[in-house]
Structure 1
């Protein structure tokens, strides 16, 4: 493989921190590299060094002759103008409109953005997609992306992953990407670089392979450590043999023991997210009853009934603008419905993690430990009472950071402090809006470990498929039609529904010239009336409720079969019930598709 880009003994110190310490690595043609590591370890700095945007203190960056490097920074640098100006500059339309690859980029990232739209009028997510599209329409050999999945929904992340895999195959350039999206890393990357403590460890494969390799390294290190500790115990035992042993004569033995003790490595990651005690939940938690929510002519929720019970764990996906964040505001009680009601159980204590971290701005002058002390000075964790200072240390803020003012925290640290403030309040309902923003993969793993065993009711809005599949038992979708649609097939079912919807929308204009504007084509079906559409939507809601019930029944039957595995007759009877449910589910799914065609 041809060498494209590399670093040779690169060293870089910013302030008092050495981010890169004699780092050497290379990027070859056909490689797709995922970069991971703790927040503040130097991932973005490494990308800037490799792309030539950051000078180094020592060492050099190598680049093959003529290699062009394109960089997507975490903050876009779009100037004034239109989307067309930003993506294609002064190029004539005929120069790019005939290129199928460029048309695919338009369809994948700019389908809801007009090319003549003013950049100043775009949302943050739309600007991010425009900046990404401006890079993908070019022909650079090396593409460097810093958090490209930020502001992309699940559908956008899936499209980007497929596009990059197809584009950066062997012999067509190379990719380096920093992202916390573990699903994306697995879907795209062929190698993983872990940045930590001034160095870069290299692993073959994506995120799953990286985790396996790290576990193996940890196991090997633990074996070596056990042997070292055995030697240490022998040395210390020898030193305790009374006064005659502690003379100048065996000084070399004392020095050897001290060397072993001094070599004791500190834990690389001191963060430990502990399970908090939660207040008791009653039978009723949150019931959304016949709720309609509209802003002017725009209806986000249309006569929705949705019930959340104790211990429910729901992941929410959907198209941008469909109302996912608005749904959380409704559940939290920060927003009143246009009609209908949200009924809350008497024992419900709701905590909401919002997307922004501005709620910490008013606490900017306080130190981390002081922020937590304002919420609660102590909390019982694992049967032990911890002070606020002990708690923040266990939750990822070592002593040198626990006294840091909030204004000096990094984005990831502010996000972690937000979550900590929620948890010390001991809620029993958690509403999380894009909780993975600004968190590194290790922090995400710790967060998932907490949520995985958390006994309360959980609702998560996220584009992170890995998180949703790890901590949620069910997924629901907001597709922009005012309904909350259950997804028995998870995120894959959602993507299938979106592909079908986009395919139907794409074929509709082609069919329209065939018929007169005020009449259906000969032999064709007339457009459904508003009454038919309403009836179809009600039928869809009924079917989805029954499909959800079937999913619960199937789980219960599987549990019974496992418990009665030795009773042949009982297993046969349960199997017959499962087959009947499967047949009913097939019929319901067919009916759902028919109703969906009418409802649009």
Structure 2
């Protein structure tokens, strides 16, 4: 592979802290590299050095002659006074850029819903990010460097960017380097991983999953080496005490394969135990939205009435339920969270809350820390309590704070001096120690690195309550929630038995159907090509009649299943709270509950298919 650019003995320090120490590495044609590491360990600094946006204290960066490098910074670098169109394509006429199919594809994927004539300064943060990304991607760069490109992108936007990067060059051409906390994205697009830590860069083959396994094996090897060293020291001490050394056999060690490394690791969550604890803390009723509709208030100086966000939706949260919510921007994901939290009341319908429900919500802002800016991290947590119970273990405030990545030194840092990611961690920790039994997280992955995300997920695994998560990070959704719901912008809330993949199929079908309708197509044949759920607009009256019958049948079956599940959960609660717990009975009840859940998922998929025919 041809060499594109390289770094030789790069070193850089900020104050007394050395961020990179004699780092040497390179990018070759065909490289697809993801960069991971803790916040503040130098990922963005290294990328800026490689892009020659800043200079090292020592060492140098060399590039092949004529190399064209595109760089997307985390900071907003667009001119706010420019119209969107000029910011992306400059003064080029529409026919000039529209003649290029690659540019048309980028525009459709990123900025189709952005006003072409609006000033950049009037756009939301997410829209500005997509405009900057579109401006970068339409250029014919040899190397692309992206610093947190998935920030402010929704699930659909992240999937589009991944597909674009996979198709942009032939496998042996071009190269890109990406810094991101989105682990699904890393696995989807990267073939190599660089871990930045302690001033050095360790390379690994493969995406995020391969990196995690390789790092686990590396750490285990290091532990074995250290264990052997300590054993030799002990033997040396024993020899000094005894005089003549005793003969010992040489220890042998075999590094196990990756699957053996994790063979004895238990499942992330003990679902049965958590369900029992959640039911005990919450009772049978949590939060129910019944036939809720909501239209946001009209904005000032806007003549057009706002469209309703929710239209007759029903959502029932069960004790210990873990649900993820995905949807298009503006579909009402954050509004739904605020409604569950009691901050917003519906226009019609009602919200029913259990008597023991105590909610807590992690918002996208960090204003909740304004009142503790002068306190140190450990003091913020100690104000709540000194000892906490996490997953059945008692932890001191210091141990709990350390579990989320605050070292002994960081625990005594004033809140005002924390980075954005550190404040995000503290914000979540402060919510958890308040012991809510319904926790809502709105885009919790913002500003967090991959190691911190793993630590957060570990804490959530042992948290016995109802969890609602809004996120564009599908790795997190699939990791910490048990099922997902979708807001598609039509006012409806839909179940996703097929997870995020099903959501993306629904969105593709909806977009294809909209394109066919706008083109005056007589039927939805074009939409059918976009997914299994499309092609229903041209259903016959007989098919629609059968669909209505199917909906009635499925809804009756779902109602019966709901009653059976309620009865099983009551039996599990009674069995779990008995003087002598019958674990065999609990296991049998849990098995039946899982069977009902699987049957329910199958029926929900049938219901979704039938409802598509009637829309």
Given the two structures, how large is their TM-score scaled by the length of structure 1?
Answer: 0.82
Question: Within 2, Cα distance between the matches of 1:541 and 1:460?
Answer: 31
**Aligned partner of residue 144 in structure 1, secondary structure:** strand
Which sits farther off after the overlay, 18-27 or 108-117?
A: 108-117
Deviation at 1:415, TM superposition (A): 0.7
Q: Which residue number in structure 2 is paired with residue 476 of structure 1?
A: 485
**Residue in 2 aligned with 1:117?**
118
Deviation at 1:295, TM superposition (A): 1.3
SS of 1:161 mapped into structure 2: helix
- Superposed CA deviations along residues 72-102 of structure 1, whole A, max 9, x for unmatched, are 1111211111110110012222321111110
Is residue 178 of structure 2 the alignment partner of residue 177 of structure 1? yes
Q: What residue number does 1:370 align with?
A: 379
Distance 1:347 1:380 in 2: 19
Task: Write out aligned runs for 1:589-600 (5 A).
Answer: 589-595=608-614, 598=615
In 1, Cα distance between the equivalents of 2:601 and 2:54? 59
In the alignment, structure 2 segments of 5+ residues that lack a partner are 244-267, 298-305, 524-535, 569-583, 585-594
State which drifts further: 277-286 or 484-493. Answer: 277-286
1:380 Cα deviation after fit: 3.7
Aligned to 1:566: none
Alignment correspondent of 1:100: 101
What is the DSSP-based 3-state SS (H/G/I as helix, E as strand, rest coil) of the residue aligned with 2:383? helix
Give the secondary structure class of the aligned counterpart of 1:485. Answer: strand
Count of residue pairs brought into register by the alignment = 535
2 CA distance for matches of 1:137 and 1:173? 15
Distance 1:313 1:95, change over 3 A: same
Which residue is 2:513 aligned to?
504
Post-superposition Cα deviations, 1:44-67, rounded to whole Å, max 9, x if no partner, equal 001000000111011110110000
Q: Report the TM-score, using the length of structure 2 for normalisation.
A: 0.80
Residue 483 of structure 1, CA deviation? 1.4
- Write the distance in 1 (CA, Å) between the matches of 2:45 and 2:283: 50
Retained in 1: the 8 A contact 2:286–2:318?
A: yes
Other-structure match for 1:431:
440
Whether the 8 Å contact between 1:192 and 1:205 is mirrored in structure 2 is: yes
Residue by residue over 1:532-579, the C-alpha shift from the partner in whole angstroms, topping out at 9 and shown as x without a partner, is x9xx9999799689679879999x99xxxxx9xxxxxxxxxxxx9999
> Partner residue of 1:311?
320
Measure the CA separation in 2 of the matches of 1:551 and 1:285.
15
| RMSD of aligned alpha carbons | 3.6
What corresponds to 2:25 in structure 1?
25
Residue 340 (structure 2) pairs with residue 321 (structure 1) = no
Q: 1:580 to 1:207 in 2, by over 3 A?
A: closer
- Identify the residue that residue 43 of structure 1 maps to in structure 2: 43
Single out whichever of 445-454 and 400-409 deviates more from structure 2. Answer: 445-454
Q: Which residue of 2 aligns with 1:254?
A: none
- Hey, what's the Cα distance between the residues in 1 that align with 2:18 and 2:410? 18
SS in structure 2 of the partner of residue 299 of structure 1 = coil
Q: Which runs of 5+ in 1 are unaligned?
A: 246-272, 515-524, 558-562, 564-575
Partners of 1:189 and 1:513 lie apart in 2 by 42
Q: Is the 8 A contact 1:485 1:544 kept in 2?
A: no
Residue 455 of structure 1: SS of its match in structure 2?
Answer: coil
Report if aligned partners of 1:86, 1:134 keep a CA contact under 8 Å in 2. yes
Partner SS, residue 10 of structure 1: strand
8 Å contact kept, 1:543–1:592: no
- 2:559 & 2:18 partners in 1: Cα distance? 53
**Residues in 1 aligned to 2:519 and 2:425: alpha-carbon distance in whole angstroms:** 50
What pairs with 1:144-543 in structure 2 (closer than 5 Å)?
144-238=145-239, 280-296=281-297, 297-381=306-390, 386-511=395-520
What do the CA deviations read for 1:191-214 (whole angstroms, capped 9, x no partner)? 100000000000111101111111
CA distance in 1, matches of 2:103, 2:397: 54
- Counterparts of 1:578 and 1:72, CA distance in 2: 44
The equivalent of 1:78 in structure 2 is 78
Contact 1:488 1:547 in 2 (8 A): no
Contact 1:8 1:24 in 2 (8 A): yes
1:220-271 deviations in Å (ceiling 9; x for gaps): 2222122112112223445667xxx9xxxxxxxxxxxxxxxxxxxxxxxxxx
CA distance in 2, matches of 1:583, 1:391: 40
Distance in 2 (CA, whole Å) between partners of 1:526 and 1:145 is 40
Say whether the 8 Å CA contact 2:378–2:411 is kept in structure 1: yes
Question: What's the secondary structure of 2:490's corresponding residue?
Answer: coil
The equivalent residue for 1:269 is none
Question: C-alpha distance in 2, partners of 1:135/1:37?
Answer: 25
CA distance in 2, matches of 1:133, 1:549: 50
Write out per-residue CA displacement over residues 340-367 of structure 1, whole angstroms, 9 at most, x where no aligned residue.
2211111111111111112213322211
State the distance in 1 between where 2:23 and 2:603 align. 60
Alpha-carbon separation, structure 2, partners of 1:87 and 1:594: 40
Q: Distance in 2 between matches of 1:382 and 1:588?
A: 37
Change (3 A) 1:238 1:349: farther
Give, in whole Å, the separation in 2 of the partners of 1:545 and 1:417. Answer: 46
**2:300 matched residue in structure 1:** none
Q: Is the alpha carbon distance of 1:594 and 1:20 closer, same or farther for their aligned partners in structure 2, counting shifts above 3 Å?
A: same
Distance, in Å, in 2 between the alignment partners of 1:548 and 1:215 is 46
Contact 2:390 2:459 in 1 (8 A): no
Q: CA deviation at 1:481?
A: 1.3
How far apart, CA to CA, are the structure 2 residues paired with 1:545 and 1:581? 12
Alpha-carbon contact 1:87-1:133 (below 8 Å) kept:
yes
| Alpha carbons of structure 1 residues 111 and 594: separation in structure 2 relative to 1, 3 Å | same
Secondary structure of the structure 1 residue equivalent to 2:20: strand
Assess if the C-alpha contact under 8 Å between 2:10 and 2:24 holds in 1: yes
Contact 2:497 2:601 survives alignment (8 Å): no
1:427: how far off? 1.5
Q: In structure 1, what is the Cα distance between the partners aligned to 2:553 and 2:310?
A: 16
Q: Deviations over 1:368-414 (max 9, x none)?
A: 11221233343244666544344323432122111111111011110
Q: Which whole-Å CA distance do the structure 1 matches of 2:206 and 2:59 have between them? A: 28
Residues 32-52 of structure 1: CA deviation (Å, up to 9, x unaligned) = 110000111000001000000
What is the CA–CA distance in structure 1 between the aligned matches of 2:562 and 2:32, rounded to whole Å? 39
